[in-house]
Amino acid sequence: MAKNLSGRSFLKLLDFEPNDVRYLLDLSKDFKNLKRTGTPHRHLQGKNIVLLFEKTSTRTRCSFEVAGMDLGMGVTYLDPGSSQMGKKESIADTARVLGKMYDGIEYRGFSQQLVEELAKYAGVPVWNGLTDDFHPTQMIADLLTIEEHFGHLKGLNFVFMGDARNNVANSLMIACAMTGVNFTACAPSELFPKAELVEKAREIAKRQGSTVTLESDVKKATTGAHVLYTDIWVSMGEPDEIWETRIKLLSPYQVNKAVMDNADPEAIFMHCLPSFHDRKTVIGEQIYEKFGLKEMEVTDEVFESDKSVVFEEAENRMHTIKAIMYATLK
């Protein structure tokens, strides 16, 4: 039986049990059905939430806004620089003020410690919309997308290619471990996840009958893979100077046709987005001019192929964030 998550914050998956994840996935499916059938579900009418963003966002912000409005809540968005937080007011004071006005707080920013501190003082649920270490709301959407595609999670082989110690990769390793999915971080050893987190993931995976593997050989890592997942090579908050080193380190880890062909014939491609798969962005064009790359972590061919489920995955952010808010606020 899933625990009652009412009143809980959602800061990282490590704070939860596998049956909590199962409960959130089932709840997400229910909300997706309600949305698809146009059935009103203003279950949290009268409540209000505030969204604090210290880094930019499309999917996470819009998911929280639409999900909040669908649930009947009032939604306030505060962008970087438009609140006193950090500059003139401490995190603890900001949390106590917002906690008096709002029923829930979303935070996207830099340190994990900061979101944990907000939660400690707010007195209302705090949801982590991405920190440098973790991106837990993304995980419920990713698991839902995989389960919708294959009909199950346990026993699938999941391979993350790229910067395997970034927020998304860290969270995916724990998400896979908690759901019995075999996780492989396919990366140069410099970009393997931290040993301490790998240890924790392995303990969880063992209980679910799955494995956590670190592998630098692309062919070995991707043979028999059911899910190929990647993320941008330089994350928000990292300095621009790092692009050159990252491109050198990660070019062999691009998800391209050869990688997809080496995977299971039914394999799918996933990406949390945004993605540099062409030159149609400001940064994409700058990288092309400086380094001559017209695509980075994934080729346009794979991104646009029928194996790619990236837009279903993006849609699922909204249904799953709705489930997380409902479960913790109801």
Which member of 231, 246, 254, 319 is catalytic?
231
CB-based burial, 243-266: b 16+ in 10 Å, e otherwise: beebbebbeebbbeeebbebbbee
Q: Is 272 an active-site residue?
A: yes
Q: Residue 37 CB, nearest distance to ligand CP (Å)?
A: 26
Q: Is 165 an active-site residue?
A: no
CA separation (Å) from 59 to 197, 319, 325? 27, 12, 16
Distance CA 214, CA 149 (A): 25
Site for ligand NVA in 252-281 (CB under 6 A): 272
Contact 229, 160 (CB under 8 A): yes
Distance CA 28, CA 231 (A): 24
Q: Residue 273 CB, nearest distance to ligand NVA (Å)?
A: 7
297 contributes a contact to ligand NVA by CB under 6 A: no
Q: Which residues pair with 105 in a beta bridge?
A: 50, 126
Neighbours of 306 (CB within 10 A): 7
Distance CA 328, CA 195 (A): 31
Q: Which residues pair with 230 in a beta bridge?
A: 161, 271
Q: Report the DSSP pairing between strands 157-161 and 182-186.
A: parallel
The partner in contact with residue 235, picked from ligand NVA, ligand CP, none with C-beta cut-offs of 5 to 8 angstroms by kind, is: ligand NVA
Pick the binder of ligand NVA from 94, 157, 222, 235 (CB under 6 A). Answer: 235
Name the token pair of 41. 């579900």
The partner in contact with residue 58, picked from ligand NVA, ligand CP, none with C-beta cut-offs of 5 to 8 angstroms by kind, is: ligand CP
Contact 106, 11 (CB under 8 A): no
167 contributes a contact to ligand NVA by CB under 6 A: yes
The partner in contact with residue 170, picked from ligand CP, ligand NVA, none with C-beta cut-offs of 5 to 8 angstroms by kind, is: none
The partner in contact with residue 119, picked from ligand NVA, ligand CP, none with C-beta cut-offs of 5 to 8 angstroms by kind, is: none
Site for ligand CP in 126-185 (CB under 6 A): 130, 138
128 contributes a contact to ligand NVA by CB under 6 A: no
In the block, tokens 């669908």 appear at 70
6 vs 111 by CB, closer to ligand NVA: 111
Distance CA 182, CA 180 (A): 6
Q: Is 319 an active-site residue?
A: no
Distance CA 41, CA 39 (A): 6
In the block, tokens 């692009």 appear at 243
Q: Is 231 an active-site residue?
A: yes
58 vs 113 by CB, closer to ligand CP: 58
167 annotated ligand binder: yes
Q: What character string, x for contact with ligand CP (CB under 6 A) and - otherwise, covers 57-76?
A: xxxx----------------
Which member of 61, 70, 103, 108 is catalytic?
108
45 annotated ligand binder: no
CA separation (Å) from 260 to 134, 263, 264, 301? 27, 5, 8, 11
Number of residues in contact with ligand NVA under rule CB under 6 A: 9
Q: Is 208 an active-site residue?
A: no
Chain residues in the site for ligand NVA (CB under 6 A): 130, 166-168, 231-232, 235-236, 272
Binding site for ligand CP (CB under 6 A): 57-60, 130, 138, 272-274
Which residues are known to be catalytic?
108, 135, 138, 231, 272, 317
Annotated binding-site positions for carbamoyl phosphate: 57-60, 84, 108, 135-138, 272-273, 317
Q: List binding-site positions for L-ornithine.
A: 167, 231, 235-236
